[in-house]
Amino acid sequence: MTRTILKTADGEEKSVDELRQLIRTTCGIEPAKSLDQILYKRASAGRGFYKTTEGMFGLTELRKGVAIDGRAVVFSGRGLS
């Protein structure tokens, strides 16, 4: 569900509170109480999500970055294209 919400947000990073509200309004159901823990674990394990230093979450597949020497460089949680 969170993946779908972030995809429809055009790759824009969202806070946990924003994601909770979007899940309620878009899907019409109450999000998991442990949504923040779920996202944190998936982000730290590298399973499709990332977390910025500001506490925002995004999808790794939609993260934009500049490739320098084969590595992606990301500035303050948001990449440049």
What are the start-end ranges of the H helices in 9-60? 16-27, 35-44
Answer whether residue 32 is part of any domain: yes
Residue 52 resides in a domain: yes
Q: What is the pLDDT of residue 51?
A: 92
Asked whether residue 80 is domain-assigned, the answer is: no
What is the per-residue pLDDT for 11?
76
Domain of residue 69, residue span = 2-73
Give the span between the Cα atoms of 73 and 19, in whole angstroms: 26
Please give the tally of structural domains in the chain: 1
Question: Does a structural domain hold residue 33?
Answer: yes
pTM: 0.72
Q: How far apart are CA 52 and CA 72, in angstroms?
A: 15
User: Domain for residue 79, yes or no?
Assistant: no
Per-residue model confidence as pLDDT tens digits over 12-46: 899 999 999 999 999 999 999 999 999 999 999 98
